[in-house]
Amino acid sequence: MPASVTPPTDPGRRDDGPPRASRRQDGRGTRDDSPAPKPWRTEGMPEGGDPKKGTNWKWLALVMGLLWLLLFGVMQMQNAANAPREITYTEFTKQLQAKNVEKVQSKGDSFNGTLRADAAYPGEQGVTYKTFTTERPTWAKDDIDAMLKASNATISAKPVAEEASVFWTLLISFGPILLIVGLWILVLRKSRSMMTGGLMGGNKKKAPVDPESVRVTFDDVAGIDEVENEIYEIVDFLKNPDKYRRLGARAPKGVLLAGQPGTGKTLLARATAGEAEVPFFSASASEFIEMIVGVGAQRVRELFEEARKVAPSIIFIDEIDTIGRARGGSRAMGGHDEREQTLNQILTEMDGFSGSEGVVVLAATNRADVLDPALLRPGRFDRTIQVHAPDAKGREQILQVHTRGVPLGKDVDLTAIAKATPGMTGAELANLVNEAALAAARQGADDVTQPFLSEALEKVQLGAARNVVMPPEERRRTAYHEAGHALLGMLQPGADPVRKVSIIPRGRALGVTLSTPDDDRYGYDEEYLRGRIIGALGGMAAEELIFGVITTGAESDLDSSTNIARSMVGRWGMSESVGPVQIYPNEGDPRSAGFSEDILARADEEVRRIVDECYREAVRLLREHRDKLERITAAVLEKETLDEAEVYAAAGIERPSPEEIASPIQGSAEVPERDSAPTRVDEPTRFPDSGEAPQTGEVHTGEATTIGEAPPQVDGPAPAPRPWDEHTGGSHAARPTD
Ligand SMILES: Nc1ncnc2c1ncn2[C@@H]1O[C@H](COP(=O)(O)OP(=O)(O)OP(=O)(O)O)[C@@H](O)[C@H]1O
Ligand SMILES: [Zn+2]
């Protein structure tokens, strides 16, 4: 059976095949890419309730500075007009004799005073003066007293001209100091916000988003009703806090949303805020971390501070695992200290507020299994809500939500699309609709008809076709390779039906075989898994059978088959020799989990044995059914792409009925989600990078875990996409063309 091309869903697909690429093209709310001063975004802030009062300092300083400059200027002008002029004693006596001196004040031999009428200032053309100062030579023999009296001047011992200038004097001496202090505060504030905000980017402040325009409600979230129900309690608390407070109940402080990417965790968090009509602060955990130790913690502090100011409110922290990994875990972002400090700050903040404040922290992760247990303790994220990929009904509802604003053709059958897309997440479905709408727009169509949607689905599932001409020999080899996958997929009892075989090059793949189940499957038995391995090796087996050589084209096939075999042995207890123990930990080296070299070596042997057996079986089956292989090859060479009916017809095999496929599974395997880390091919020992595994002490019932309908288990094993999802399954990597 062909290793199926994925419903392109899973978190960490390794190849760069195109189905993955479009995950983030959907509208992701109000996230924007412009540099923001704080690493979080806010929505639904009450009007005028911008808690960033601090920035007022800037204005204060600016205003103060301007005011001082203004006063200084005025003062200068006044000085220019009214400043006492220094005049000669001769000029003074002249004015006295002219009886033009009104007031005089003297101290010792210096005089200053005011004239009755402006007088021409000697020595400067066209300049007049009214106030003056002068110095009386000590040897002067004139009778100044008599002269003053004769001139009828008022004589005083108090300063005349400077009376008014006390204020100015003060201002002159303190103004600059005030200005400097103001500037200093401004600079301080600025540098602090640079540290905590725009260290790496600009400092543009983002205005709080208009509450109306961003309101997302539960109407926008489809197909995950059971999760909505769980979260509704929080909405209710935020809306009617008194109802709960009266009974002494506290709101949950933290809720962890766990689930693979694109399942709508962010959307759900926003909708929670939207439903409760409270401000929404969102940040990605990785954005807290910078190179400078302490910045992350500072940012966390500020975020909580702001959220508290406008409580009730919701804080959403995405990708919490980037900082919330168990301490000592590897692959942490940023420096170790920085990560830990940031995490500690989050824990401190959460400890610090009582639930009655009304700040609820929602966090999202797709690696709940690697989180630091400290995060999950009571009073922190003590509630985990599993958000699963939707089932067929859910997918249909999601398609409905996303086609609300799309004019659909009459022929569009959303139910059929939902059926054909097992494993796809909300984000992928949103993207599917968008791709179809884009294609329709490109062709100038009036509405989005079924062909557009089918084409988009093919593009999303298989990848966009590449416009290259393959050499005939290469094409033939690819045709046999894909036919091998397809035929084995059809021959395996209970395998997922083959949907499509194509030898049109897409992305890195030269050809693709797609097979998906009729219904969502949640668990897999050993036979089925072996069938997957046999199918995955079918391409390579066909090449060896027909051409007698093996090419590099089977790389991703080997990758996926090895991965399945490893999980069977090391995670799902399907090897007698190793036994029902889980020797491959979620992360890191199994040696560190305390397993002996001996058992690990045995596991390696077992993996080898399983893959060998499957390969031999693949070659045997293809040899036995060579006629069918030839017919499929001929058909795909002729038509390039075969759909389900065509490929079964070419092989002369009857398509299995849904009952045959979806047989109840005994002792099913939990299929883990995979880790997002790229697997290094050069590693001598590769451990399955699988994520969600049954927790220690967890009773595994062996029943298929359902996605969607079943009440989500809090910390139980999460059903997940197939571990081989990350590969374009039946497709094979491009061989070097030369
Ligand atoms: N249940 C759903 N109903 C409607 N739309 C959905 C649903 N799930 C996902 N989507 C669509 O997919 C988009 C992306 O989903 P979202 O960002 O919430 O996923 P996520 O689980 O938070 O992913 P990540 O783990 O990468 O943060 C949403 O904006 C929405 O358009
Ligand atoms: Zn292949």
601-618 tens-digit pLDDT: 888 999 999 999 999 999
482 is catalytic: yes
Buried b or exposed e, range 568-590, using 16+ CB within 10 angstroms: bbbbbbbbeebeeebbbbbbeeb
426 lines ligand 1 (CB under 6 A): yes
Q: Is the C-alpha dihedral spanning 367, 368, 373, 374 positive or negative? A: positive
Percent of the chain topping pLDDT 70: 70
510 lines ligand 1 (CB under 6 A): no
Q: Is the C-alpha dihedral spanning 160, 163, 164, 165 positive or negative? A: positive
223 lines ligand 1 (CB under 6 A): yes
Fold of 85-160: 3.30.720
What ligand 1 atom has the least distance to the C-alpha of 318? 27
Superfamily holding 466-583+594-665: Peptidase M41 (1.20.58.760)
Window from 47-51, 207-211, 369-373, 557-561 with minimum mean pLDDT? 207-211
How many angstroms is it from 488 CA to the middle of ligand 2? 12
CATH 1.20.58.760 residue spans of the chain: 466-583+594-665
Using pLDDT thresholds of 50, 70 and 90, give the confidence band for residue 630: very high
The ligand minimizing its distance to the Cα of 729 is 2
How many angstroms is it from 513 CA to the middle of ligand 2? 8
Residue 260 is labelled as binding a ligand: yes
Average pLDDT over residues 166-191: 75
Is residue 375 within 8 Å of residue 203, measured between CB atoms? Answer: no
CATH 1.10.8.60 residue spans of the chain: 392-461
Among 266, 317, 428, name the best residue to mutate to test ligand 1's pocket (greatest count of ligand atoms within 8 A of Cβ). Answer: 266
What dihedral angle (degrees, nearest 10) is formed by the CA atoms of 451, 508, 651, 636? Answer: 70
Window from 151-165, 393-407, 717-731 with minimum mean pLDDT? 717-731
Alpha-helical segments (H) within 22-143: 56-82, 89-97
DSSP 523-562: EE-HHHHHHHHHHHHHHHHHHHHHHS---GGGHHHHHHHH
What ligand 1 atom has the least distance to the C-alpha of 220? 4
State the pLDDT at residue 612: 93
State the pLDDT at residue 77: 65
DSSP 172-185: HHHHHHHHHHHHHH
Is residue 522 within 8 Å of residue 704, measured between CB atoms? Answer: yes
Q: Which residue from 719, 724, 716 is spatially nearest to 698, judged by alpha carbons?
A: 716
430 lines ligand 1 (CB under 6 A): yes
Is residue 640 within 8 Å of residue 721, measured between CB atoms? Answer: no
318 lines ligand 1 (CB under 6 A): yes
Q: Nearest residue CA, atom 25 of ligand 1?
A: 261
Domain 30-52+205-215+225-386: which CATH class? Answer: alpha beta
Q: How far apart are CA 413 and CA 419, in angstroms?
A: 10
CATH 3.30.720.210 residue spans of the chain: 85-160
Window from 117-121, 290-294, 358-362, 678-682 with minimum mean pLDDT? 678-682
566 lines ligand 1 (CB under 6 A): no
State the pLDDT at residue 478: 92
How many angstroms is it from 729 CA to the middle of ligand 2? 7
Provide Rg for the chain, Cα atoms: 40
Using pLDDT thresholds of 50, 70 and 90, give the confidence band for residue 245: confident
Residues 6+ apart with CB under 8 A from 443: none
What ligand 1 atom has the least distance to the C-alpha of 401? 4
At CA 206, angle to CA 32 and CA 56, rounded to 5?
Answer: 165
Q: Nearest residue CA, atom 15 of ligand 1?
A: 264
State the pLDDT at residue 520: 63
**pTM (2 d.p.):** 0.60
Residue 265 is labelled as binding a ligand: yes
Average pLDDT in the chain: 73
Window from 176-180, 199-203, 552-556 with minimum mean pLDDT? 199-203
Percent of the chain topping pLDDT 90: 13
CATH 3.40.50.300 residue spans of the chain: 30-52+205-215+225-386
State the pLDDT at residue 191: 58
Q: Nearest residue CA, atom 30 of ligand 1?
A: 427
Over the stretch 13-67, which tens digit does the pLDDT of each residue have?
Answer: 333 333 333 333 333 333 333 344 566 677 666 554 444 444 466 677 777 778 7
Cα separations (Å) of 476 from 95, 289, 470, 480, 510?
A: 119, 51, 10, 6, 11
Q: Which CATH architecture has domain 392-461?
A: Orthogonal Bundle (1.10)
